[in-house]
Copies of this chain bind each other. A is one copy, B any other.
């Protein structure tokens, strides 16, 4: 079975993820990537057969890493509110845990591909929906555990967490707002407080 090849391919995917974080999945160039990794263009290309396949594999690699560094550790936290908190904290730390110097690759890809039909958009949408469903599931468990009020809408909660994450990404990266992290946490605390309090 391919031993050396697998190592190389993983190294390529790691480089592709970092590169995509900066220039987007579509902005990746086989020339740039091969130069950065000291490989030949054709040698790198041979591992994937097409650019689209490289993009797809990079997306898959990112999803696997995300599961490793934010989903799985959160499962170690107790069910209910603590786990919801762990997911949020993991979300904020994910672009540094798996180095993405240009910001979350899913955010970049979402904006790039939200109107470009094809397998990449399809897979990306799937990944995002899974994340959404997982987050909503954790919220539902928090309701069942009595941490959150029973008439809370988990999907709505997930929607708003998504918004906080995106606003944080935006404020910290483009706006260089030093208070971005603090703002994100305050927003999340307000959200949790509203979820905890009995119906007004």
Main secondary structure on A side of the interface with B: helix
Given A22-B115, A111-B103, A190-B194, are A171 and B160 neighbors across the interface (CB < 8 Å)? no
How many chain A residues touch B (Cβ–Cβ < 8 Å)?
Answer: 47
Given A163-B164, A187-B163, are A176 and B125 neighbors across the interface (CB < 8 Å)? yes
Contact B22 A175 (CB under 8 A): no
> In the complex, A194→B197 CA distance in Å?
12
Least CB separation from A111: chain B residue: B111
Least CB separation from A159: chain B residue: B183
> In the complex, A37→B160 CA distance in Å?
40
Q: What B residues does A186 contact at CB under 8 A?
A: 156
Q: What B residues does A27 contact at CB under 8 A?
A: 26
Residue A124, interface by CB 8 Å: yes
Q: What B residues does A156 contact at CB under 8 A?
A: 183, 186-187
Chain A stretch 95-130: residues in CB contact (< 8 A) with chain B: 101-103, 107-108, 110-115, 121, 124-125, 128-129
Contact B113 A174 (CB under 8 A): yes
Given A24-B112, A27-B26, A111-B103, are A167 and B163 neighbors across the interface (CB < 8 Å)? yes
Instruction: Provide a sorted-by-A list of 20 A–B residue pairs whose CB atoms are within 8 angstroms.
Output: A24-B24, A24-B111, A24-B112, A103-B114, A111-B112, A114-B170, A125-B175, A128-B174, A128-B175, A155-B179, A156-B186, A156-B187, A160-B163, A160-B187, A162-B170, A162-B171, A163-B168, A163-B187, A190-B194, A193-B200
